[in-house]
Chains A and B, each alone.
Chain A
Amino acid sequence: MPLLAAEAKGKRRRKKGMENDNLTGYLFILPFLIGFFALTVFPVAMSLYLSFTNYDMLGTPRWIGLDNYERMLMDDTKFIKSIKVTLFYVFTAVPFRLVFALAIALLLARLVVLKGVYRTLLYLPSVIGGSVAVSVMWRQLFGNEGALNSILAKLGLPTVSWLGDPSYAIWTLILLYGWQFGSSMLIFLAGLKNIPASYYEAAEVDGAGPWRRFINITIPLLTPIILFNVVMQTIQGFMAFTPSYIIFEDGRPLNSTLLYVLYMFQRAFTFFDMGYASAMAWLLLLVIGLFTALIFKSSSYWVHYESEGER
């Protein structure tokens, strides 16, 4: 992590030029402290409290203990469905985006001519990725009379109701997620640039082919960056909302696109079931925490950190 390196650097420097100055220090970070307590700690604590209550924003919150959690896990089939949809989405869309980003980064890294131009053009979809315009465009692209069906028809193939068929609908969202591979691509490119060319030369002298070099040099040296990407993209994947809301509104067809955050949003702002929505938010926080911990935990088996001594 760059963070640790920076911390270590800070420590070395601290000896010269920095003395204790509590008042000034706190004055400078005061905005952060106010925001942290008023807009993070307080809401998080409040949502924990609300998750044990029944609250519709009109009356006062009524304490109901674990009822929300019980209802969620035992009775709410829509909730279970949203979990299934979200897990499927995350485990398909995130690897899809990352593999794609890595493949393109590898292709770009060895390019000599027009490298910058391709990098810019391929990053473009990510620039406007989160915008409403893209989701609106996607809806038309995959619509019954959209561009994709028009091409299929031209080729003499049967057209498909991409947005109306429960087995295809979620794939349009996965494709949209994969299409915005730009930032992962840039991060991979930066990582590839840091691999010393001498490693490859040495391997070539030893008679290693391109595939061996990729498996034994590129991948191991990229693992810290892959780890970082996997963590960030997984969190982002769990949070997906705007495209599903704009393209499918309420998770249609047959709740096949009912992503977790979309359902949470419905519970909170369509039904004003704030207690239930808070319980959902807490469960989501736990799930993300768990996944992040698992990824980090597993990282000792597959992430390769170059120690200073080795070089």
Chain B
Amino acid sequence: MQARRKAVIKLAGEQLLLLALTFMMLYPLLWMVAGSFKDNGTIFTTAHSLLPNRLDFSSYIEGWKGFGGVTFATFFLNSTIITLLSTFGSVASSALIAYGFARIRFRWKKVWFVCMMLTMMLPFEIIMVPQYVMFNWFGWIDTYWPLILPTLFGTPFFIFLIMQFIRTLPHEMDEAAKIDGCGKFAIFSRIIVPLIVPAMMTCAIFSFYWRWDDFMGPLLYLNKPQLYPVSLGLKMFSDPDSITNWSALFAMSTLSVVPVFVVFFLFQRYIVEGISTSGLKG
């Protein structure tokens, strides 16, 4: 009896602690959403409150108008184009490269593999200046090329992740296909690709996050508001000197993270597995 009571108290204590902690961690997010419904007059007098004093969507309509005649519809469309193209490109090429590294023997493979791992450790910030100079020579400022093109050559983290996955697949099927007369590319496209879909999904989701949230790339390369993705549009929209409609700012901030949350809740499984098994940033 005593022991059971102790266990119940312990369980309740744990739950209470975690509940308080989770609330604290989620407070800023809830506060942002609540702020989008508050009207401008009350937003700061009841600044900490999570309960809006009204529930109307006028701030969303107001915010959607954007600035300088460019609406958030444009920003969302631009983000979608950039994100889809670069995600598709990077996952497809990463799968190809991963197969090459995992299943084909060729000269100097080790050397190139080490180069790839080193590239994975090299932060973008280190090469941002020369890359900018280079893309500027090509006349690619105010185009999406600098944002999309680099993704078409594979992403080291994805290559590594897919490689690890391919290595767990049995060789017997490759062998059987080879006997049936399949070349390497046929083996890859008909046998390997269907099997590595889970790994490719994980990569696609990470790519979606990184591209959707990417701020530095657009900041460097895009100067025309018509070309802005959501991240940069929101930054410009939020300029403290120009904005007076705070609830509209909160509304657009909330909207900008909705796609990310939707993808997270739909594909949570892949993300948790991806991070836990390969252990990388998210």
Residues in chain A within 8 A of chain B (CB atoms): 2-3, 6, 9-10, 13-14, 16-22, 24-29, 31-36, 38-40, 42-44, 46-47, 50, 55, 57, 104, 107-108, 110-114, 118-128, 130-134, 136-141, 145-151, 154, 179, 182-183, 186-187, 189-190, 225, 228, 232, 235-236, 238-239, 241-242, 246, 261, 264, 268-269, 274, 277-278, 281, 284-285, 288, 292
Contact = CB atoms under 8 A, between A and B. Distances in A.
A7 B45 CA distance: 60
A183 B281 contact: yes
Interface footprint category on B? 35 or more
Nearest to A112: B11
B22 A17 contact: no
19 contacts: A17-B175, A24-B104, A28-B184, A35-B150, A36-B112, A40-B119, A57-B133, A104-B21, A111-B18, A112-B11, A127-B261, A138-B28, A146-B44, A147-B27, A225-B279, A228-B279, A239-B123, A239-B125, A242-B216
Contacts of B46: 150
A152 B266 CA distance: 38
Nearest to B149: A39
A132 B17 CA distance: 30
Contacts of A281: 125-129
B123 to A, nearest CB: 5
A31 B150 CA distance: 10
Given A132-B235, A241-B125, A127 B209 contact: yes
Contact of A31 (B97, B105, B130, B174): B97
Nearest to A277: B129
Interface in B43-68: 44, 46-48
B26 interface: yes
A189 B273 CA distance: 11
A14 B130 contact: no
A190 to B, nearest CB: 4
Interface of A (DSSP majority class): helix
Contact of A57 (B125, B136, B220): B136
Given A40-B127, A47-B129, A113-B15, A32 B112 contact: yes
A133 B253 contact: yes
Contacts of B250: 137, 140
The majority secondary structure among interface residues of chain B is helix
Nearest to A235: B123
Given A113-B15, A187-B276, A187-B279, A150 B47 contact: yes
Contacts of B31: 137, 141, 147
Contacts of A277: 129
B275 interface: yes
A246 B107 CA distance: 47
B167 interface: yes
B225 interface: no
Contacts of B103: 18
Interface in B110-129: 112, 115-117, 119, 121-123, 125-129
A190 B129 contact: no
Given A20-B106, A22-B107, A126-B282, A3 B130 contact: no
B20 to A, nearest CB: 12
Contacts of A154: 48
A130 B276 CA distance: 20
A264 B136 CA distance: 18
B86 interface: no
Contacts of B222: none
